């Protein structure tokens, strides 16, 4: 019973995140959470959860570096 509820909840959360990639909202965050819920019961979801988490962290680091460089380069002008 718990497994079924987790799969339904994780699937719903993940699909809502996919819809919110197009509509305004926290799409990527919901996909990560949904895959995290599904990862307990579905090995493929665990694999994709790791990949999405890795790429989102990498993207966030890259954005932070670009924003940091932008401020530093403007400070000397």
pLDDT per residue as tens digits for the range 64-73 = 777 775 444 4
User: Maximum distance among all alpha carbons in the chain?
Assistant: 63
Instruction: Give the global pTM.
Output: 0.69
Return the ∠ at Cα 66 (arms to 17 and 26), rounded to 5°.
15
pLDDT of residue 10: 92
Average pLDDT for 4-32: 92
Judge contact between 33 and 13, C-beta under 8 A: yes
Q: How many Cβ atoms from other residues are within 10 Å of residue 14's Cβ?
A: 22
Buried residues in 23-40 as b, exposed as e (16+ CB within 10 A): eeeebbebbbbbbbbbbe
Residue 57 pLDDT exceeds 70: yes
What are 39-54's pLDDT values in tens digits? Answer: 999 988 888 888 888 8
């Amino acid at each position: 019973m718990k497994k079924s509820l987790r799969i339904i909840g994780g699937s719903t959360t993940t699909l809502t995140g996919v819809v919110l990639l197009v509509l305004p909202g926290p799409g990527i965050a919901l996909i990560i959470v949904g895959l995290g819920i599904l990862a307990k019961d579905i090995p493929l979801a665990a694999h994709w959860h790791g990949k999405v988490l890795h790429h989102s962290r990498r993207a966030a680091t890259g954005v932070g570096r670009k924003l940091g460089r932008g401020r530093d380069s403007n400070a000397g002008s």
